[in-house]
A and B are shown apart, each in its own frame.
Chain A
């Protein structure tokens, strides 16, 4: 199963673009990448979920863990997502109130 993780910089903010399916099999790779970025001192992250086809509670858990880690460094993790089926998972679990979710990477970086 494919999970794409691509890191880029946009106006001093680190953008992690995730592609494919995030589940119990692939979520550990996402966790490792988030840990790696934090250990490099990148404390303001935007995670772009626009190319994600599937995200389950394991993926949500990894994002919650990432946010916690960044907050402990006075940083933040915001999300980019406009796909209804992915947003729905955040809505059901109430996590739309925990994460700032933006319509585009530009909007996330500007906030």
Chain B
């Protein structure tokens, strides 16, 4: 079996349209399953977090009406799987998100949005938001055991 000199790296560029988020989920969950060191429920967590990040990216593009692509990078290292979602939207301050009323408050029903980032924070082991003038990059990290990437043995 190959030793871990190699880092698997996959890049996916999608049009900033809602119908492509399902494709990103499929790619990320296939990659995570192939690794065979991430339990199924954690793959579901990563899939949901990536989906939320892509949704935010697409909505950010729609907000400023830019026709640029969203870039998804998946990077596998020995002990982690990192997925970054980069957009060209107006950027935001992750610390300045509006707070929802408590769930027991009837006013809570007036808020249909704003659950994506709290979900991301709960689902992944590490999250970093890098807003800049060019857009926002969201880095999602899952810790996992050493990869068992037999599928790359033929290549290396």
Contact = CB atoms under 8 A, between A and B. Distances in A.
Interface of A: 1, 21, 23-25, 54, 56-58, 60-62, 64-65, 67-68, 71, 84-85, 89, 92-95, 97-98
A32 to B, nearest CB: 15
Interface string B10-25: 0000000011011001
Contacts, number: 71
Interface in B97-114: 103-104, 106, 108-113
Nearest to B120: A57
B118 A23 contact: no
What is the predominant secondary structure among interface residues of chain A facing chain B? helix
A60 B113 CA distance: 9
A56 B51 contact: yes
Given A97-B104, A98-B108, 8 more contacts: A54-B51, A57-B113, A57-B115, A61-B112, A62-B112, A64-B109, A92-B119, A97-B103
A93 B115 contact: yes
B101 to A, nearest CB: 11
Nearest to B41: A85
A23 B104 contact: no
A26 B155 CA distance: 38
Contacts of B18: 23-25
8 shortest interchain CB distances as A-B pairs? A61-B112, A57-B115, A25-B18, A68-B109, A94-B103, A24-B55, A97-B103, A57-B116
A60 B19 CA distance: 18
A93 B19 CA distance: 25
B118 A93 contact: yes
Contacts of B77: none
A69 to B, nearest CB: 9
A98 B109 contact: yes
A65 B48 CA distance: 21
B47 interface: yes
B82 interface: no
Contacts of B127: none
